[in-house]
Amino acid sequence: MSLTADFALELRGVRKHFGKTEIIRGADLQVRSGERVALIGPNGAGKSTLFNLISGRFAPSSGEIRLHGARIDGCAPHEINRLGLARSFQVSNLFTRLSVFENLRCAVLWSLGHRYAFWKFLADLRDANERAEQVMAMLHLDRKRDVAAADLTYAEQRALEIGLTIAGGAGVILLDEPTAGMSRSETRRFVQLIREASEGRTLLAVEHDMGVVFDLADRIAVLVYGEVIACDTPAAVRANATVQEAYLGAALAVGDA
């Protein structure tokens, strides 16, 4: 099988060891453009490590990571970001003293890059204002336009955090446990918001809440001991005996309890 640009994101035989311990052990994953994939697996399976590899925080020990067909393994995080992949952390990216609007405008301006011509900056600023307003409306944060990020509710901060990735122009978004720490009703609303905001974009999300996973994902990738043991539709993954045995049986039993 050849590597192609048909996939927004592709991992081939990715390995990562820390010292003598191999944490990611030949992970393969293909995410199509516009697809929403949830990455699940038991604690310590390597989900965060995989995100760190994709976003450039760590370089793989071996294997390939491709974004729209181009190799990104070994690239710095800011280079990968410029190529259109953004990672949404749990609130850590926000400028807490800046308003909602200013945060979004900063993300747009960053994506436009620094061009040291004043006339160009003014034109960019107009575009950035418009884009920031659009994303703000999409996130239903227009009523909080001038509120400092620090004064938003937790769910609003998470929404703004996702907004930064979108305002920055990312086509591929990694979400770290998007609904962690939210109440049931917040979670329901937030899943809907993620769905709307990610329309036309590619999403890879680590999520522990199986309700969210099965509600949001087009496909579910199951990582166990550093290997992707299945990547399929929610129904197929639910019915997969190996997944049941390795992880999902226990996770669903806990979720159902």
Tokens at 246, concatenated? 């390795």
Closest CB 247 distance from ligand ATP, rounded Å: 11
Phi, psi at residue 22, to the nearest 5°? -90, 120
Q: Identify whether the C-beta of residue 55 lies closer than 8 Å to the C-beta of residue 85.
A: yes
Residues between 3 and 22 with contacts to ligand ATP, criterion CB under 6 A: 18
Verify binding: residue 56, ligand ATP, rule CB under 6 A.
Answer: no
Q: Which stretch binds ligand ATP (CB under 6 A): 39-47, 59-67, 108-116, 128-136?
A: 39-47
- DSSP strand pairing (21-32 vs 7-18): antiparallel
Closest CB 112 distance from ligand ATP, rounded Å: 33
Verify binding: residue 43, ligand ATP, rule CB under 6 A.
Answer: yes
* Length of the chain measured in residues: 257
Q: Binders of ligand ATP: how many residues, by CB under 6 A?
A: 10
Q: Which one of residues 23, 170, 194, 231 is an interface residue with ligand ATP (CB under 6 A)? A: 23
Closest CB 95 distance from ligand ATP, rounded Å: 26
Verify binding: residue 46, ligand ATP, rule CB under 6 A.
Answer: yes
What are the strands, taking DSSP E only, across the chain?
Answer: 7-18, 21-32, 36-40, 62-67, 70-71, 85-88, 172-176, 202-206, 219-224, 227-232
Q: Which stretch binds ligand ATP (CB under 6 A): 46-54, 89-97, 106-114, 246-254?
A: 46-54
| Contacts of 137 by beta carbon, 8 Å cutoff, 6+ apart | none
DSSP-assigned letter for residue 244: I
> Which of residues 9 and 23 has its CB atom nearest to ligand ATP in the complex?
23
| Contacts of 82 by beta carbon, 8 Å cutoff, 6+ apart | 113
Q: Which one of residues 13, 44, 69, 181 is an interface residue with ligand ATP (CB under 6 A)? A: 44
Closest CB 206 distance from ligand ATP, rounded Å: 7
- Residues at the contact surface with ligand ATP, assessed by CB under 6 A: 18, 23, 41, 43-49
